[in-house]
Amino acid sequence: MADNKFFTYKGYPLVRKGNELYYGNMGDEYVTWIQILAAEDMNDIKTATKVRIYKLSTDKSLPVKNAEKTSLYSALDLAYAWLTN
């Protein structure tokens, strides 16, 4: 049987495919979707320089909240704040 555990960040699952990440529990009221829009090579490591974060609700009638950050770390920090408030 395969182990279906996800990588977590601050206790929430974090799943990445290409330049998109989903952060949060899919069964909760909210989840965040993070898009890496731009990246630069810094010391031979590709580093995100423009990231858009969306707070999505399972209730489609609620508005989508979004923001833009200059690093993946700051985007994840904001996404965590959105999920815990």
Is residue 2 pLDDT above 60, yes or no?
Answer: no
Contacts of 30 (CB under 8 A, 6+ apart): 24, 55, 56, 57, 58, 82, 83
Confidence of residue 24 (pLDDT cuts 50, 70, 90): very high
| This prediction's pTM | 0.85
Which pLDDT band holds residue 1 (cuts at 50, 70, 90)?
Answer: very low
Q: Where are the domains of the chain?
A: 8-84
CA distances from 76 to 18, 40, 44, 53, 63 (A): 16, 18, 22, 8, 20
- Residues 28-75 have pLDDT tens digits of 999 999 999 999 998 999 999 999 999 999 888 988 999 999 999 999
